[in-house]
């Protein structure tokens, strides 16, 4: 057993009021998170929301401007012991263009103590990649698969993937996600993966973080997030008709009907309303829509960031 | 980490090995012939008498007349002069800049090795390769040019290319190795700062060449206290007099009637009056030099009781200068290596 991942550490990523600025622009503002170890987390948000910044902070590639972040109980990216525990598939899945597929596996083997050569070799076989092929000649999908193989074979405790499928065609996207799902089914590995599409995430994730306009809107286990949101349809949905803890995230009018995404502990009741349970996409789109209207209320966001994050420790 | 360094450095290493091999053949083949020529010249063990001086002149004349030796001699100097800039631009500048440019730093720096280790291994191994390449070439050329050095340096129109003079100094001995490894870390640091490979390469070349120019003008002359020689200005010596635009008079060295400073690097050369003031030719129209013949002018100057003052680094200082310069450059190299490592640790964070 690794002493540094003792029983006190139940968080894969633990962020406390983390902000990060580039010059005078805030890429991430006052972000607090407790992503439990063992979870498969989807980080979703539009392009430019700060997803890459948050993941870079978790790998130690970036440091927070204010606040603190701990990954698997330690300072991210600090020292070999920490680097060894975290696997990272960076955006655009960089590989060495002049190095062959086999060369990449050798690189992994030479540079990593926990390298699982068998896993790497069998994945390359399954992908039907020619080991002699230079990585620069791989397709986008193959390159992403190679990058994933490199990260998986290091046997990390936490695997971080930054938009790994963003530039892939639907088929390659499906294959990549299938490969990821298969790899994460077995060993107890935490995964955090970002995407701007909910559909990439909803099948494999059990924890969701919605990041819009540099702020965390919602974070929590998928089941809790779904249970805490309601789609309310009726002739009119007004804040004053809702219970005290409820909040309208977004609302749309269509053919005289208003449909609103409402956050509340219990489903709001009124005779004129039809209340249904939203799916993950409804929830995420609701928050994306709200941010798009420029109606991000700081106080509400802060509440959102803290409230659902109060999750039970991982089993 | 060692494996990755070797793998990424493979193409450059092969290029360097090939270049060293080709040059080893060229200089290795012609070197014994040159040594043979020297042996036959009768210069070996001759000393510094006037008889030996004419032997040396004859030997140099035969060298200059040859098709191959002058070309190899100047090619060797040229190669060793540009080698630091080439190593800095092609080995140093891309080391971090290319990783940043292609985004592969995110792959490289998310393996087990910390950035500090990544940098230490890369700087260490490629730095050693730079030292080995430049050191081998310098060793080869120094050996080949041994007879030329023994004869006082290759002749040119004004004097001789002795090995202590600026162009030759960093093409022989141990200093070329230090210059190469310094240029390498300069390239690395510039690559880290500029973050674009091509721009970093260009800037590295400019900075290394600038340093190669400034160093012998401002630093090397002071690494050892120059020797000061004085000699009375004679009528015979005035045959090899140079007059500057301000009227200052410099009498050449190693010419009939002038001080014999074989193989020296002359740093300054001027003429003073008996009162110790720098001598200038009088600008008045009535002076002997303004209206008289050249011979009358020379006679007038010779009658002024002038003293020639020469400050120089003697040929015997060559190795001491080489080692001091090498140590100094290696010290700067180590400092820049530390800066490169520190900057890489903080890079983009």
- Nearest Cα of chain B lies from the Cα of A76 at a distance, in angstroms, of 11
Q: Which of B95, B108, B347, B105 is nearest to B200 (CA)?
A: B95
- Flag if A96 and B104 touch (Cβ within 8 Å): yes
Q: In this structure, are B215 and B254 located in the same domain? A: no
Q: Considering only alpha carbons, which residue of chain B is nearest residue A82?
A: B112
Distance CA B23, CA A198 (A): 63
Distance CA A41, CA A43 (A): 6
Q: In this structure, are B151 and B259 located in the same domain? A: no
Q: In this structure, are B327 and B292 located in the same domain? A: no
Contact of B125 with chain A, judged by CB distance below 8 Å, is answered with: no
Q: In this structure, are B157 and B140 located in the same domain? A: yes
- Flag if A90 and B111 touch (Cβ within 8 Å): no
- Flag if A112 and B348 touch (Cβ within 8 Å): no
- Which residues in chain A have Cβ-Cβ distances shorter than 8 Å to B7? 99, 103, 106-107
- Nearest Cα of chain A lies from the Cα of B349 at a distance, in angstroms, of 4
What's residue A96's pLDDT? 96
What's residue A239's pLDDT? 82
Q: In this structure, are B306 and B322 located in the same domain? A: no
Q: What is the pLDDT of residues A211-230, one digit of tens each?
A: 999 999 999 999 999 999 99
The answer for residues whose C-beta is within 8 angstroms of residue B164's C-beta and 6 or more apart is B263, B264, B265, B313, B315, B317, B318, B321
Count Cβ atoms below 10 Å from residue A18 Cβ, excluding itself: 24
Q: What is the pLDDT of residues B54-105, one digit of tens each?
A: 888 888 888 888 889 989 999 999 999 999 999 999 999 999 999 999 999 9
Count Cβ atoms below 10 Å from residue A123 Cβ, excluding itself: 22
The answer for residues whose C-beta is within 8 angstroms of residue B163's C-beta and 6 or more apart is B145, B149, B153, B169, B172, B173, B263, B315, B318
Q: What is the pLDDT of residues B275-296, one digit of tens each?
A: 988 898 877 666 777 777 888 8
pLDDT mean values, one per 10 residues, chain A (315 residues): 49 95 92 94 92 95 95 94 96 94 96 96 94 95 95 95 91 91 83 89 90 93 94 87 86 87 88 90 88 46 37 39
In chain B the first and final C-alpha atoms are separated, in Å, by 22
Where helices occur in B195-266 by DSSP H, the ranges are 197-214
Q: In this structure, are B191 and B261 located in the same domain? A: no
What's residue A291's pLDDT? 59
Residue B255 in this model has a pLDDT that exceeds 90: no
Contact of A21 with chain B, judged by CB distance below 8 Å, is answered with: no
Q: In this structure, are B251 and B287 located in the same domain? A: yes
What's residue A6's pLDDT? 44
Where helices occur in chain B by DSSP H, the ranges are 2-41, 50-65, 69-87, 94-102, 105-108, 115-144, 146-150, 166-169, 175-194, 197-214, 288-291, 294-302, 318-346
Complex ipTM, two decimals? 0.85
Q: In this structure, are B287 and B198 located in the same domain? A: no
Contact of A92 with chain B, judged by CB distance below 8 Å, is answered with: yes
What's residue B296's pLDDT? 85
Q: In this structure, are B49 and B196 located in the same domain? A: yes
Q: Considering only alpha carbons, which residue of chain A is nearest residue B3?
A: A110
User: How many domains does one find in chain B?
Assistant: 2
Q: Which of A128, A160, A113, A210 is nearest to B1 (CA)?
A: A113
Residue B2 in this model has a pLDDT that exceeds 50: yes
- Flag if A83 and B111 touch (Cβ within 8 Å): yes
Q: Considering only alpha carbons, which residue of chain B is nearest residue A162?
A: B106
When CB atoms are compared, the residue of A80, A86, A88 closest to B113 is A80
- Nearest Cα of chain B lies from the Cα of A162 at a distance, in angstroms, of 11
| pLDDT average, residue stretch B107-132 | 97
Contact of B302 with chain A, judged by CB distance below 8 Å, is answered with: no
Contact of B6 with chain A, judged by CB distance below 8 Å, is answered with: no
Best residue of A75, A85, A111, A146 to probe chain B, by most B CBs closer than 10 Å: A111
Q: Which of A58, A27, A114, A17 is nearest to A309 (CA)?
A: A17
Angle in degrees, CA B112, B115, B119, rounded to 5: 115
Kindly state the DSSP code that residue B239 receives in the 8-state scheme.
Answer: G
Q: Which of B234, B231, B237, B235 is nearest to B256 (CA)?
A: B237
Distance CA A267, CA A265 (A): 7
- Nearest Cα of chain B lies from the Cα of A202 at a distance, in angstroms, of 27
Q: Which of B152, B166, B134, B127 is nearest to B56 (CA)?
A: B152
Q: In this structure, are B76 and B212 located in the same domain? A: yes
Residue B308 in this model has a pLDDT that exceeds 50: yes
Residue, of B292 and B220, whose pLDDT is higher: B220
State the count of interchain CB pairs (< 8 A) between A and B: 70
Query: Which helix or strand (DSSP H or E) is residue A125 part of?
Result: helix A117-126
Q: Considering only alpha carbons, which residue of chain B is nearest residue A59?
A: B110
- Nearest Cα of chain B lies from the Cα of A94 at a distance, in angstroms, of 5
Domain span including residue B265: 227-315
Residue written as token pair 């090899």: B240
- Flag if A90 and B103 touch (Cβ within 8 Å): yes
Q: In this structure, are B114 and B212 located in the same domain? A: yes
The answer to whether A201 and A41 have CB atoms below 8 angstroms apart is no
Query: Which helix or strand (DSSP H or E) is residue A227 part of?
Result: helix A222-227
Distance CA B59, CA A153 (A): 69
Q: What percent of chain B has pLDDT over 90?
A: 63
Distance CA A195, CA A201 (A): 7
The answer to whether A120 and A145 have CB atoms below 8 angstroms apart is no
- Flag if B114 and A88 touch (Cβ within 8 Å): no
Q: Which of B177, B199, B200, B179 is nearest to B188 (CA)?
A: B200
The 3-state DSSP class for residue A290 equals helix
Contact of A43 with chain B, judged by CB distance below 8 Å, is answered with: no
Q: Considering only alpha carbons, which residue of chain A is nearest residue B102?
A: A94
Q: In this structure, are B214 and B249 located in the same domain? A: no
Q: What is the pLDDT of residues B176-199, one digit of tens each?
A: 999 999 999 999 999 999 999 999
The answer to whether B193 and B93 have CB atoms below 8 angstroms apart is no
Q: Which of A17-26, B17-26, B133-142, B230-239 has the lowest mean pLDDT?
A: B230-239
What's residue A18's pLDDT? 96
Q: Considering only alpha carbons, which residue of chain B is nearest residue A80?
A: B112
Distance CA B7, CA A267 (A): 61
Residue written as token pair 């500057």: B244
Contact of B116 with chain A, judged by CB distance below 8 Å, is answered with: no
């Amino acid at each position: 057993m690794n002493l540094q991942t003792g029983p006190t550490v139940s968080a894969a990523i633990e962020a406390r009021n983390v902000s990060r600025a580039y010059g005078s622009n805030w890429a991430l503002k006052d972000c607090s998170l407790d992503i439990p170890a063992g979870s498969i987390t989807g980080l979703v948000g539009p392009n430019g929301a700060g997803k890459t910044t948050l993941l870079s902070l978790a790998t130690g590639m970036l440091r927070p401007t204010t606040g603190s972040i701990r990954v698997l109980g330690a300072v991210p990216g600090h020292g070999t012991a920490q680097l060894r525990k975290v696997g990272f598939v960076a955006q655009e899945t960089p590989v060495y263009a002049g190095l062959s597929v086999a060369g990449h596996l050798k690189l992994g083997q030479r540079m990593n103590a926990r390298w699982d050569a068998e896993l790497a070799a069998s994945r390359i076989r399954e992908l039907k990649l020619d080991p002699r092929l230079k990585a620069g000649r791989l397709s986008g999908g193959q390159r992403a698969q190679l990058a994933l193989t490199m990260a998986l074979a290091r046997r990390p405790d936490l695997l971080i993937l930054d938009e790994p499928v963003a530039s892939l065609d639907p088929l390659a996207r499906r294959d990549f996600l299938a490969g990821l799902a298969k790899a994460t089914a077995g060993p107890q590995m935490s995964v955090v993966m970002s995407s701007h599409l909910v559909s990439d995430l909803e099948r494999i994730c059990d924890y969701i973080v919605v990041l819009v306009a540099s702020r965390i809107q919602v974070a929590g286990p998928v089941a809790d997030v779904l249970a805490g949101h309601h789609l309310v349809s009726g002739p009119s949905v007004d804040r004053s008709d809702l219970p005290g803890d409820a909040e309208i995230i977004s609302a749309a009018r269509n053919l005289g009907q208003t449909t609103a995404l409402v956050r509340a502990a219990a489903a709001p009741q009124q005779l004129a309303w039809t209340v249904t349970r939203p799916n993950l996409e409804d929830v995420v789109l609701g928050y994306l829509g709200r941010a798009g209207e420029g109606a991000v209320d700081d106080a509400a966001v802060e509440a959102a960031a803290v409230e659902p994050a109060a999750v039970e420790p991982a089993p | 980490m060692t494996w990755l360094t070797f793998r990424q450095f493979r193409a450059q290493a092969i290029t360097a090995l090939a270049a060293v091999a080709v040059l080893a053949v060229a200089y290795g083949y012609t070197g014994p012939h040159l040594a043979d020529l020297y042996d036959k010249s009768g210069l070996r063990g001759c000393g510094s008498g006037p008889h030996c001086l004419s032997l040396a002149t004859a030997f140099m004349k035969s060298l200059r007349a040859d098709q191959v030796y002058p070309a190899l001699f100047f090619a060797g100097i040229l190669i060793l002069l540009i080698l630091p800039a080439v190593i800095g631009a092609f080995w140093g500048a891309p080391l971090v800049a290319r990783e940043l440019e292609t985004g592969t730093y995110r792959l490289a720096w998310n393996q087990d090795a910390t950035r500090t280790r990544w940098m230490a291994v890369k700087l260490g191994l490629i730095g050693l390769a730079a030292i080995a390449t430049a050191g081998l070439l310098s060793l080869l050329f120094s050996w080949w040019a041994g007879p030329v050095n023994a004869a006082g340096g290759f002749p040119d129109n004004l004097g001789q290319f002795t090995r202590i003079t600026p162009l030759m100094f960093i093409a022989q001995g141990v200093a070329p190795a230090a210059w190469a490894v310094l240029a390498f870390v300069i390239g690395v640091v510039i690559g880290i700062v500029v973050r674009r490979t091509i721009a970093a390469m260009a800037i590295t070349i400019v900075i290394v060449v600038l340093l190669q120019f400034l160093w012998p003008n401002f630093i090397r002359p002071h690494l050892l206290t120059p020797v000061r020689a004085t000699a009375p200005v004679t009528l015979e010596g005035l045959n090899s007099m140079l007059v500057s635009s301000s009227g200052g008079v410099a009498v050449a060295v190693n010419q009939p009637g002038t001080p014999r400073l074989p193989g020296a690097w002359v740093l300054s050369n001027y003429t003073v009056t008996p009162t110790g003031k720098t001598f200038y030719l009088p600008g008045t129209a009535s002076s002997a030099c303004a209206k008289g013949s050249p011979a009358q002018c020379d006679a007038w100057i010779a009658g002024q009781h002038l003293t020639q003052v020469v400050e120089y680094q003697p040929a015997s200082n060559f190795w001491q200068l080489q080692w001091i310069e090498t140590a100094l450059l290696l010290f700067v190299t180590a400092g820049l290596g530390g800066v490169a490592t520190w900057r890489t640790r903080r890079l983009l964070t």
